[in-house]
Amino acid sequence: MTTTPSLSPADAASPPAPVPVVLPVRHAEAVMPAGVAYVREARRFAERLLAHWAVAETDRDSAVLVVGELAANAAVHGRHTMSVGLVLDGRTLRIEVTDRGDPVNPAPGRDDGRAGSRADDRADDECGRGLVIVACLAASVQVREAPWGRAVRATMSLATASVSVAVPAPASELDLLLAADLSGASR
């Protein structure tokens, strides 16, 4: 004889326990010359990628601003090459901009897309506010100096997790899309 457990009326009416949803960790990186002309391309890369990942527009706007500020710093103060990396893990977005290569000693009047050092920098100048803006938008900011260059990582807490269930494009197709976007910088 088999007995079945009896449920109280309260147990029978309660909804089933929620099933946790495990979201995939997503990551992508774009490598480009460390020139001011490529800052726009870094922002475009982040904007399109975060839209593809279904990140909410307000979070996306803040992340693109962070990417722009970090890429501008790498372009102006960095070395020959910069990379922009994004990692989305649930509601956490890590943005890392790295500059690599031999040290660059900018000279005034260069026309390779980099700014020269200026002796007339003043406290009320509009430049130099990038890391302050990043610190306001990010939960944390870390700077790592190395002989090969510098890496700046900003970690952001997103308002909502990306819950898109769309299947991402194959890596080769996404690589072609991003490469086409970066080649448009010379137009």
Q: What is residue 130's predicted lDDT score, i.e. its pLDDT?
A: 76
User: Tokens 């002989």 correspond to what residue?
Assistant: 147
Q: Is residue 117 part of a domain?
A: no
Q: Is residue 79 part of a domain?
A: yes
Output 163 or 79, whichever has higher pLDDT: 79
Q: Give me the domain span that covers residue 145.
A: 24-107+128-161
Residue 187 lies inside a defined structural domain of this protein: no
Q: Is the pLDDT of residue 167 over 50?
A: no
Q: What is the 3-state secondary structure (H, E, C) of the chain?
A: CCCCCCCCHHHHHCCCCCCCCCCCCEEEEEEEECCHHHHHHHHHHHHHHHHHCCCCHHHHHHHHHHHHHHHHHHHHHCCCEEEEEEEEECCEEEEEEEEECCCCCCCCCCCCCCCCCCCCCCCCCCCCCHHHHHHHHCCEEEEEEECCEEEEEEEEECCCCCCCCCCCCCHHHHHHHHHHHHHHHHC
What's the confidence (pLDDT) of residue 116? 42
The answer as to whether 11 is a domain residue is no
Q: Does residue 12 form part of some domain?
A: no
- Please report, to the nearest 10 degrees, the dihedral formed by the alpha carbons of residues 84, 89, 90, 96 taken in order: -30
Answer whether residue 120 is part of any domain. no
Structural domains in the chain (count): 1
pTM of the model: 0.67
Q: Is residue 175 part of a domain?
A: no
CATH number at residue 103: 3.30.565.10
pLDDT tens-place string over residues 114-154: 444 333 444 444 456 777 889 899 999 999 988 888 999 99
Q: In the structure, what pLDDT confidence band is assigned to residue 21 with cuts at 50, 70 and 90?
A: low
pLDDT, tens only, 42-66: 999 999 999 999 999 999 999 999 9
Nearest to 78 by CA among 154, 143, 156: 143
For 66-124, how does the pLDDT look when each residue is reduced to its tens digit (9 = 90+)? 999 999 999 988 888 999 999 999 999 999 999 987 765 544 444 444 444 333 444 44
- Give me the pLDDT at residue 4, please: 57
Domain membership of residue 96 (yes or no) is yes
As a whole number of angstroms, the distance between CA 107 and CA 100 comes to: 19
- The more confident residue out of 133 and 178 is 133
What the block records as the tokens of 69 is 């500020």
Instruction: Give the CA angle between residues 123, 103, 76 to the nearest 5°.
Output: 35
